[in-house]
Amino acid sequence: MSTLLGRPPVADIMLDDEQSAARAEFADFVDRAIVPVAGDLHRAQRTPPELIRTLADVGYLGLPVPREYGGGGCDAVTLGLLAGELGRGCSSLRSLLTVHTMVAHVLARWGTREQRNSWLPRLAAGSSIAALALSEPEVGSDAGAVRTRITPTDGGFLVDGRKRWITYGHVADVFLVVGRGPDGPTAVLVERDRAGVRTNLITDLIGIRASMTADIRFDQVRVPEANLVGRVGLGTTQVAGTALDLGRYTVAWGSVGIIEACLRASVRYVNDREQFGVLIREHQLVRRMVSDMFADYRAARLLCLDAGLRRDRRDPTALPAAALAKYRASTAAVRAATDAVQLHGANGCSDSYPVQRYLGDAKVMEIIEGSTQLHQVGLADYAFQEFAAVSMGSQP
- CA neighbor of 159 nearest in space, from 132, 128, 191: 191
**Identity of the amino acid at 223:** V
369 is annotated as an active-site residue: yes
User: Burial level of 83, CB count in 10 A (0-12/13-18/19+)?
Assistant: buried
Contacts of 281 (CB under 8 A, 6+ apart): 267, 270, 271, 287, 290
DSSP at 213: -
Three-state secondary-structure class, residue 160: strand
Q: Are 329 and 293 in contact (CB under 8 A)?
A: no
Q: What is the CA radius of gyration of the chain?
A: 21
Partner residues linked to 131 by β-bridges? 175
User: Three-state secondary structure along 127-148?
Assistant: CCCEEEECCECCECCCHHHCCC
Annotated catalytic residue: which of 136, 260, 366, 369?
Answer: 369
Active-site residue list? 369
